[in-house]
Every structure is written in C-alpha cells, then in structure tokens.
Amino acid sequence: MNRNKYKILVLTDLKNNSKETIEYAISIAKEIDGALELLCVKKPLDFITTDNPLSAMRNVSDEFIKTAQKAKNIINSITTNNFFPVKNNIAFGNVKNEIDKHIQLTNPDFIIIGKKQKKFLNITEDNVTTFVLKKYNDCIFTANKTTIPEIYAVLNSKKKTGQIAS
C-alpha cells in the first residue's frame, strides 16, 4: 500500500484550545506533507433536552450543523491566505468508543491532541486524553509540546519497523 502523505488525526472538542491545536496540526501537516483529518465527538446527553424522538433528532441535526460550522470557521480563520484541505468528521455517541472506532477505521500515522486544561476540581472528568494516551501510546503528539524533529524521529522509526508504508 503506497501513499504519498502521512495521515494525521486531530482530536478536538472545539472548545478552549482547539484553534491553537488545529493551527499546530496544520503547520505540522504542511511541514511533513501530511493529510489532515479533524475528529470531534460529542455526547448526545449534552444537547438533547427532551424525550420526544422527533425533537431529539432535530437537536442532533442542529448540533451537527453548529459543530460543522464552528470547525469550518476555525479552519478558515487559520488558513485565510493559504488554503490547506482539512477533512472534518463529527460523531455523536460515547466519546471513547467513537474515537476508538474512528482510529481503527482510518488507521492514522499519528494523532494530535490538545493540551489538557487543568481544572481545580473535576469529579466527572471524561479522561479522554488519558484513554487515548493509554491505548495509542506510540503515535500520540500533544499540540505545542512536540517538535517537528521529534515527529520526524517517530515517523522514521515507524518506517523502519514497517508500520508506515513508504
């Protein structure tokens, strides 16, 4: 299986640091000639407020449109002068399961996640970052902490072991 570009997956919730994370991912993708894919997973319980199935479907549709528009606006604000294609995926459901399914399906060369926000007291924390770090340890990069030479080193070691097709 030959391909020209590295597949880069960006996991984001489109909240606090998402613009910086996407900006970082675009700069990395440009540097290493990578194809960039954005994944945003949302829990339906966060925006479905009614028991009526038709109203729930309308809420899902509205949330999908809002999320897609927000992602598009963030990407357009970053790439105003020089266009860079970003594939945008939005999923609803159990966040960890949806991320796991998407990673298994797309098999990215590496994953970029945003910096985790420190919270004073968060009892109901999702631990999505922890889940992704435990499950896919060898191909995770944290936005603004990983340098381009470190990414090249990981990609070269993956090429040597045959995990990435040249």
How far is 65 from 152, CA to CA, in rounded Å?
36
Task: Report helix, strand or coil for 161.
Answer: coil
| Per-residue pLDDT reduced to its tens digit, 124-166 | 455 777 788 788 876 788 776 667 777 777 777 777 776 665 5
Confidence of residue 2 (pLDDT cuts 50, 70, 90): very low
Q: What is the pLDDT of residue 113?
A: 86
Q: 111: Cβ–Cβ under 8 A, 6 or more apart, which residues?
A: 8, 9, 10, 11, 103, 132, 136, 139, 140, 141
The pTM score is 0.80
Q: What is the pLDDT of residue 141?
A: 80
| Entry field: residues in the chain | 166
More confident residue, 120 or 140: 140
Q: What is the pLDDT of residue 166?
A: 52
Mean pLDDT within 74-85: 80
| Per-residue pLDDT reduced to its tens digit, 86-119 | 898 999 988 899 999 999 998 888 898 886 655 5
Q: What is the pLDDT of residue 52?
A: 85
Domains delineated in the chain: 6-160 (3.40.50.620)
- Give me the helix-helix angle, 18-32 and 148-160, nearest 10°: 60
